[in-house]
Amino acid sequence: MTYVAAIDVGGTTMKGGLVARDGTILHLERRPTPRAEGPERVIAAISRFAADLSRPWDGSGTPSPVVEGARPVAVGLAVPGLVSPTHAVFSAAFGWRDVPAAAFADVDLPVALGHDVRSAGEAELAYGGGEAHVLYLPIGTGIAGAVVPSGALYGGAGGWAGQIGHVPVWPDGLACGCGQSGCLAAYASGSAVAARCGVPGAEDVVRLAAQGDARATAVWAEAVEALALALATYTLVLDPAAVVIGGGVSQAGDALVVPLRARLAARLAFRPAPDVRTSRLGPLAGLLGAALLGWTAQG
Ligand SMILES: [Zn+2]
């Protein structure tokens, strides 16, 4: 069986896997991202992960259809920030600049580097049963978007397209880590809703709101309203058929999409709202996207 090695580098966890052409994940492994230890340590950890996944399979990890002694044909790496095909150009979260792809994967296999959210968007297109005109919107520690205006991802003039998390939703609103104020992410990212309620994660806010906690209810409602505002703008400009929400906050399910559908529809007076749903690929979209990168390297 032919397969690629794939690594999806997140802010807290790296997912690595061996993935077949049809998207079947033959092997899956999670390792912590040593982000607090600085960019050099993160790069070294990714490189070690790539080397481990590129080794001939030793027959461990049963049941696995990977044949003992087999190797992947290529490596696909998905990382956050601004990414070119040859370099991780910049990431505020990791503090790196102009890291060449070879620094992440020093292996004797073809290596392809790509942007995490855009790669996950490619996986949604390939495996998620997605529409041709879609916005893929992972909501996790931050909020980004993969803009698919017509069956193919749009990166923009400088690769900055899809920064929906930093669309201003309220003038003079909360300060955002990016330097602007009133950004969507300051109200609706997983880290923002958790911090505003003083709890560890967005799932705690959802649980408290379901129990009738006033603060959690207000914070969650404001997050939904901020999303509705940003998505109304996006919808009016690009007319997507669907908005597909991924990332950790998508685990909220109906507690997110039911009120969001209603608020988005209420914000759009003269046109119907696009469908809003959670990703069918869930948290593995990034890994499958990294695998698609690997296939492009393999040719
Ligand atoms: Zn911002």
Write the CATH number for 60.
3.30.420.40
Residue 103 lies in a domain: yes
72 within domain boundaries: yes
Segments forming the whole domain that contains residue 142: 130-279
104 in a domain, yes or no?
A: yes
Report the separation in Å between the CA atom of 179 and the middle of ligand 1, taken as the mean of its atom positions.
6
Asked if residue 275 and residue 134 are part of one domain, the reply reads yes
Same domain as 158, residue 247: yes
97 and 49 share one domain: yes
Q: What share of the chain is helix, strand, coil (3-state, %, to 5)?
A: 40, 25, 35
Residue 299: predicted pLDDT: 66
Query: Ligand 1 mean position to 184 CA, how many Å?
Result: 7
How confident is the model at residue 153, as a pLDDT?
86
**C-beta neighbour count of 71 within 10 angstroms:** 17
Q: Say if residue 83 is in the same domain as residue 135.
A: no
Number of domains in the chain: 2
Question: Tens digit of pLDDT for each residue in 144-184?
Answer: 898 988 888 888 888 788 989 999 999 999 999 888 999 99
Ligand 1 center to 8 CA (angstroms): 23
Task: Report the run of H or E that residue 112 belongs to, with start and end.
Answer: strand 111-115
User: Are 149 and 79 contained in the same domain?
Assistant: no
**Residues 12 and 35 sit within 8 Å (Cβ to Cβ):** yes
Rounded to the nearest angstrom, the distance between the alpha carbon of 175 and the centre of ligand 1 is 8
| Residues near 63 by beta carbon (within 8 Å), at least 6 away in sequence | none
Q: What is the pLDDT of residue 249?
A: 92
Ligand 1 center to 44 CA (angstroms): 29
Closest CA to 103 of 34, 30, 51: 51
Is 275 part of any domain? Answer: yes
**Do residues 251 and 290 share a domain?**
no
Distance 154 CA to ligand 1 centre (A): 20
Residues 290 and 273 in one domain: no
Contact, 9 vs 26, CB < 8 A? no
DSSP 36: G
83 CA → ligand 1 middle, Å: 19
206 contacts: CB under 8 Å, gap ≥ 6: 216, 220, 252, 255, 256
Spacing, Cα 279 to ligand 1 middle (Å): 24
240 CA to centre of ligand 1 in angstroms: 23
In a domain, 124, yes or no: no
**163 CA to middle of ligand 1, Å?**
9
Q: Is residue 164 assigned to a domain?
A: yes
Residue 143 CA to residue 170 CA, distance in Å, equals 16
Is there a single domain that holds both residue 42 and residue 102?
yes
Same domain, 145 and 107: no
Same domain (yes/no): 134, 254: yes
Q: Please check whether residues 144 and 273 belong to one and the same domain.
A: yes
Determine the distance separating the centroid of ligand 1 and the alpha carbon of 23, expressed in angstroms: 34
The token pair at 237 is: 């400009």
Confidence (pLDDT) at 105:
93
Q: Does residue 203 belong to any structural domain of this protein?
A: yes
On whether both 148 and 57 belong to a single domain, the answer is no
The pLDDT profile of the chain, 299 residues, written as one tens digit per residue, is: 899 999 999 888 899 999 999 999 999 999 999 989 999 999 999 999 999 999 888 777 655 667 777 899 999 999 988 888 899 998 877 889 999 999 999 999 999 999 988 899 899 888 887 678 999 999 988 898 989 888 888 888 887 889 899 999 999 999 998 889 999 999 999 989 999 999 999 999 999 999 999 999 999 999 999 999 999 999 999 999 999 999 889 999 999 999 999 999 999 999 999 999 999 888 899 999 999 999 999 76
In a domain? residue 70: yes
Whole-number pLDDT of residue 64: 64
Of the candidates 160, 79, 145, the one whose C-alpha atom is nearest the C-alpha of residue 114 is 79
